């Protein structure tokens, strides 16, 4: 993807402690730390000015759709991200930020919140997020796809259309996948 610089993506099933692991370091945690140490040596973080990796995480209460975060919690996370997106951005590699049109789209500056015919303030967006009536409406607000639109250009609750996962934070997995939010 980036010529001249080492890169890798790791994928695995989600890890979680079993009933016998509560309150102690599990074998998988020890092995994960060793694997990460090896990755850092093999793939130096030369493109990351803030000493963080390009790895991403999925958060949830567990690795099953029945354990997804409650909808009210999802709304609070989304509202916090609207307010703090600029701080989150600087935690990522500058090379990833260069891909903002494709893989690292801004939530705050997406086409629903900021467009030719409308611009919503952060306060208006947070209010719409916190008062969203359904997960589909919230996810379409946060991760709108190319066909997402407002049926009333002044009302964020009039959102319709599809979603796209390629944002700074991906909420689409919460509803359609394992019930996670992907950073």
In this model, does residue 50 exceed pLDDT 70? no
Cα dihedral sign for 97, 98, 100, 103?
negative
Is residue 85 a contact partner of residue 122, using CB atoms and an 8 Å limit?
Answer: no
Helix (H, G, I), strand (E, B) or coil at 152: coil
Tell me: the pLDDT tens digits for 110-147?
888 887 667 888 899 999 999 999 999 999 999 999 89
In angstroms, rounded to a whole number, what is the distance separating the alpha carbons of residues 70 and 27?
Answer: 30
Tell me: the pLDDT tens digits for 67-79?
788 899 999 999 9
* Residue spans per domain, the chain: 1-44, 66-182
Distance of CA 34 to the CA centre of its chain: 26
Q: Which of 98, 77, 81 is nearest to 1 (CA)?
A: 98
In angstroms, rounded to a whole number, what is the distance separating the alpha carbons of residues 166 and 102?
Answer: 7
In angstroms, rounded to a whole number, what is the distance separating the alpha carbons of residues 120 and 21?
Answer: 47
All residues at 6 or more sequence positions from 163 whose CB lies less than 8 Å from its CB, including other chains: 139, 140, 143, 144, 145, 148, 172
Could you count the other beta carbons within 10 Å of the beta carbon of residue 75?
Answer: 20
What is the value of pTM for the model shown? 0.67
Tell me: the pLDDT tens digits for 138-183?
999 999 998 999 988 888 999 999 998 888 788 888 877 777 788 7
User: What is the DSSP pairing of strand 58-59 with strand 149-150?
Assistant: unpaired
């Amino acid at each position: 993807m980036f010529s001249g610089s080492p890169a890798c993506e790791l994928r695995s099933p989600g890890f979680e402690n079993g009933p016998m692991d509560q309150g102690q370091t599990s074998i998988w945690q020890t092995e994960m730390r060793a694997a990460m140490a090896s990755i850092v040596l093999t793939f130096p973080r030369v493109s990351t000015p803030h000493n963080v990796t390009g790895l991403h995480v999925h958060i949830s209460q567990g690795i099953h759709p029945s354990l997804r975060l409650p909808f009210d919690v999802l709304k609070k996370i989304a509202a916090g991200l609207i307010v703090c997106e600029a701080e989150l951005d600087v935690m990522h590699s500058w090379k990833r930020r260069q891909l903002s049109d494709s893989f690292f789209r801004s939530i705050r500056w997406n086409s629903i919140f900021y467009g030719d015919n409308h611009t919503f303030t952060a306060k208006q967006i947070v209010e719409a997020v916190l008062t969203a009536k359904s997960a589909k409406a919230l996810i379409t607000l946060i991760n709108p796809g190319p066909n997402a639109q407002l049926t009333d250009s002044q009302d964020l609750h009039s959102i319709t259309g599809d979603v796209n996962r390629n944002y700074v934070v991906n909420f689409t997995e919460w509803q359609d996948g394992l019930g996670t939010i992907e950073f």
